[in-house]
Amino acid sequence: MSVVKIFPRAEAPLQAPAARPAAETAERVAGTPADCNCPQAVESYPLDRAFHATLARFTGGISPMALSLAWLDWGAHLAAAPQHQMELSRKILRDSGQFLEAAAHATFQEPWSVIRPQQRDRRFKDRQWEAAPFNLLAQAFLLTERWWHDATTGIRGASHANQAIVEFSMRQMLDMLAPSNFAATNPQVLEKAFQSGGENFVFGWQNWCSDLMRLLSGSKPAAEDQFVVGRTVAASPGKVVYRNSLIELIQYHPTTAQVRPEPILIVPAWIMKYYILDLSPQNSLVKYLTAQGFTVFAISWRNPDANDRDVAFDDYRKLGVMAALDTIGQIVPDRKIHALGYCLGGTLLSIAAAAMARDGDSRLGTVTLLAAQTDFTEAGELTLFINESQVAFLEDMMWQRGYLDTTQMAGAFQLLRSNELIWSRLSRDYLMGDGSPSSDLMAWNADATRLPYRMHSEYLRQLFLNDDLAEGRYRVECRSVSLSDIHTPMFVVGTLADHVAPWRSVYKIHYQVDADVTFLLTSGGHNAGVVAPPQEEGHFYQVLTKAADAPYVGADEWLKLAPRVEGSWWPEWTNWLTARSGALCDPPQIGLAGALGLPDAPGDYVHT
């Protein structure tokens, strides 16, 4: 086992990984694998890249070329499909006739007589929308939305990816024009104005001015001031036991007299701050694990800046996962380690586990992946932002700054759920005058991080665009890795309403690894489904275990076979861990002897 040196702050200043020479950076192909994989140098045309980076400021980072190609593909194929056009004309005439008939008998018709909102559409769920004329306005909007969905999908010959981009674009434009977004056509806003004498508009104006001032000053929303890192969130007691230029490794204090001998390492995503799994005490997974008698370590990633532009994806493996495993091995020697990876951290952990298995490194006792993808061919609507044109555009934008800004990543995720994260919030804050509710999860969500240029380019190209990991082309230290080398028992969690890592995409781990896989599908979304404390009501899950030599069961068949269990998935997972852990023993030491100058949890990097 390799020895990792501890660098106390007092002995050695922290430095980012050294930047590569400018000539080397200019010649290196953006987004290629590690240097040993670069086939040849390619001219980068810096003036073109500077132009694209400037253009990105006016387009929100969306490539206008990618959008134009998608609309051209869709429009050309629709223009060459006369029968499809006739069918669309027939549908609009049918919908118009049904709507006019409903409008003529509006006082006698049952609400939603022509079309109903989908179950996940919460814009028109209140009873005020069942009264005329608001019900007719809502139905007219829903009919328009349905017609445009039919018009932008199912076009023979057009690329499915391009059709998805056009359909997504039209949906964003229509969502902006929904009657729920305007005071005169929203019965809830009108009722609130009548009851308050118009005070809701005054409060809405105050909310707008407050948000504008905070946007211009760069400060956080006022509702998040009550969630302070280290006091109300990320407050589990512990100690930073190791630090390098990329991570701080936190070891949490035990809360039981005896603990399981095998420690747990948490590898979070570095798209956001690490403490998603250590929010408030009542919903902290870290606190729950220590209460169950586990020794817990967690990686806290450093927030990169322009000086870290050449930090590679593999640096996160070496300076993150592997450095953490080495340190834990010194604190708790000769023990297997339960490793947990969340979201992008789970993808990184799966790569590290495959490389370790290839090299005969058997330190991992189990591997747990939470909402983490290892195959990106069906990665949901996030793939709309990932094609050659869009990736090149993002690379040029990052090339100028040295990193992907926090607002760019947050904006992409908000567009995926624009009704909930954009328009409903604007209606609530500025029309109803209520202000946004605060929560620890929302405060964490606003505490975003930057992504280094090289790392993010490699991630987009190798994993999203080329799917190298799933197809056996991904290389670690100049040699290919395969997930099929993993024989360690795995616990994999997907979330039912995940818009970032769709559960059917996460489910593909079944035919990628040669290991026993316990797959659990829980209610909720990418974040709320994972943060599911046992005392919180409304959670449920399904779970089944597939032995390594058992026949494969498809996702749809699995959904029918797996029994449903009410409650949180956390106890199910800790029972699984306990069954694969040894007898209770005395807690290990906190950190290493002689490691001085390191702070208490949550450390310093979380504040950067």
Q: Name the active-site residue from 36, 38, 209, 343.
A: 343
Token couple for 436: 């946004």
Two structure tokens written together for 414: 């908000």
Q: Which residue has the tokens 């490793």?
A: 339
The angle at the Cα of 370, spanning 365 to 376, to the nearest 5 degrees, equals 110
Helices (H), 312-405: 313-316, 323-331, 344-358, 388-401
Residue burial 246-278, b: 16+ Cβ < 10 Å; e: rest: bbbbbbbebbeeebbbbbbbbbbbbbbbbbbbb
Tell me if residue 543 falls in helix, strand or coil.
strand
Residue 258's φ and ψ, nearest 5 degrees, are -130, 160
Token digits for 540? 């449920």
Looking up tokens 């759920």 gives 417
Residues 347 and 463 sit within 8 Å (Cβ to Cβ): yes
- Regarding beta strands 564-566 and 540-546, do their DSSP bridges make them parallel or antiparallel, or are they unpaired? antiparallel
Contact residues for 47 (Cβ-Cβ < 8 A; gap 6+): none
For residues 249 and 297, the answer to whether their CB atoms sit within 8 Å is yes
Which residues lie closer than 8 Å to 392 by C-beta, 6 or more apart?
30, 52, 63
CA distance to 102, 105, 120, 144, per residue, from 148 (Å) = 21, 26, 19, 6
Q: Which two tokens stand for residue 31?
A: 């987004």
Q: Is 36 marked active-site? A: no
Residues with catalytic function: 343
